[in-house]
Amino acid sequence: MSGRGSRLRPEDPTHVGPYELVARLGSGGMGVVYEARARDGRPVAVKVVHAGLAGDGEFRSRFRSEVARARQVPPFCTAEVLDADPEAPQPYLVVELVDGPSLAEEVTRRGPLSAPNLHGLAIGVATALVAIHEAGVIHRDLKPHNVLLAPGSPKVIDFGIARAADPVTRHTRTGEVVGTVNYMAPERFDAPGTPLTPAADVFAWGCVVAYAGQGRAPFDADSAIGIFGRIMKGQPTLDGLSGPLRELVQRALSASPEHRPTARELVEILLDPGAERTEVLRDVFERQPAMLTAVHHVVPPDPAPTRRGKRALIATGVALTLALAGGFGFAADRWKTADKAFVLPSGTIALSDALASDGEWEASSVQGNQTFCRFADDRLLIQDLVAGRWLCSGPDLTVKGRFAIEVTGRIELAGSCLVLWFYESSDRRYSLDVCATAWRLQVEDQGHGDIQVVREWADNAAEPGKDLRLQVQVSDGHVRVGHDGVLVGEQSLPEPDLHGGYFDLGVAGEPGNQQSPFRVSFRNAEVRLTT
């Protein structure tokens, strides 16, 4: 579901439900996957069930239950389920369209992953399994083709053959074997009716990590029978792995399911830096910041170690500190740093714009085109020729109550500040100004134009030339701000008539800086209604 497909064939439909199909991404025994466009223009992936299966009552029942389960899987390192219609003439499932090659494509093209990328992959896929398993689902077909290397974090896709973890409701036909042999746990070959557990996915995780590290599956052989024999004898090849990661993969490939770690234990162990992993973990989270948010969701810092919690506490604190504090001085201030992690709640998308061309925000200019809002290099570039504040008007959207905003911003010229307007009343308007010297929550009198600083956080800075994923959460008048999973600060604004919007983006000069021009850029804006 990577957004790279082939042209539609003559037999392919042009629309499925409200979705316009634009390309064919792939097909399998269950159905065909298309790249499509939603009514709001958002790209999505639509999996349409084969017509021959749609008339099978048992299959439709299975599909209906799988959709219900898949909706419960939180989108942490997984492709988010957006919509589905199990009752359509040809049932379909709509998921997030992930931008990135599959692990299989990447390894085929470039060879085994580097040590930091391999460790990041191991963390990301294990994190996805935590989310999947805790929603009561077993993936059952985890393999390199179902792991996409998306920017920020790997994503596990394709719950098309996932089943409820409860063996009573698996809907699996007698004798039916689902999955790819090279990544199947030995218990998958047991007599029909043998209960399947999440440990089978942990086995597949070990196979996927081994493949990524050495360029071939650990039980690879010339035939399916040969693969089966090596799996049943417990004879993996792990030449491409070393140190603690090799030991963990070896445990995941244990012949007995009860001897394998759980997915949650995998994440906890992978986050424990030890003597060899400090630099690797720092590199992982610097390269893949979105993974920090996912990890913090599934393994939150625990202020009181429990029977299994001591390892989790140490591991999570160290890894988060490496990511948030650049890896310096983490031992002395571990818990203070970990407490600053910031995870935005999920919710209904009210607005999504890549900011690559005219859309919710439009190009404009004044002063001989020297002060402008302009789209270039898939970003909204904003420049002001004189000191002050210049905004690019956003969508005519207002929301009430609880909502969250995310947008990636970058200071293009030193001395400039990113500005996001997000909260207002009839006479007051609030903005977040992000500068190299500080973050400022400011309020503007809409009648007189006077601007006051409500709150300043001087311990945080925005480095010119570096992308920041700005995050704002509003919950009934309480505002929290941060970036890339890091909480910068929070403030209460107890004004009863405040509402969210209009969500304008702009540029300002650093206080006291008169050296124009001032220039910033933004991309990938999203507003969500949260609960």
Q: Which residues are catalytic?
A: 141
**Strand partners for 374:** 381
Question: What is the rounded CA–CA span in Å between residue 467 and residue 463?
Answer: 8
Question: Contact at 8 Å (CB) between 415 and 398?
Answer: no
Beta pairing class for 81-85 and 31-37: unpaired
Question: Contact at 8 Å (CB) between 235 and 204?
Answer: no
Give the CA diameter of the chain: 79
First to last CA, the chain: 29
Cβ burial, residue 233 (10 Å; 0-12/13-18/19+):
exposed
**Strand partners for 115:** none
Question: What is the rounded CA–CA span in Å between residue 318 and residue 295?
Answer: 13
Dihedral pair phi/psi, residue 107, rounded to 5°? -70, -40
Per DSSP, the three-state class of 278 is: helix
Question: What is the rounded CA–CA span in Å between residue 469 and residue 81?
Answer: 23
Residues 6 or more apart whose CB falls under 8 angstroms from that of 196 comprise: 138, 140, 163, 167, 170, 187, 188
R_g (Cα) of the chain, nearest Å: 25
Question: What is the rounded CA–CA span in Å between residue 9 and residue 24?
Answer: 8
Question: Contact at 8 Å (CB) between 282 and 327?
Answer: yes
**Strand partners for 149:** 154
DSSP calls for 468-517: EEEEEEEETTEEEEEETTEEEEEEE---TT-EE----EEEEEPTT-----
Question: Residue 74, Cα to own-chain centre: how many angstroms?
Answer: 10
Beta pairing class for 19-27 and 15-16: antiparallel
Question: H or E segment at 108?
Answer: helix 103-110
Question: Residue 524, Cα to own-chain centre: how many angstroms?
Answer: 13
Look at the block and give the residue holding tokens 């293009």: 412
Please give the structure tokens belonging to residue 296: 């913090």
Helices (H), 253-289: 263-270, 278-287
Cβ burial, residue 118 (10 Å; 0-12/13-18/19+):
buried
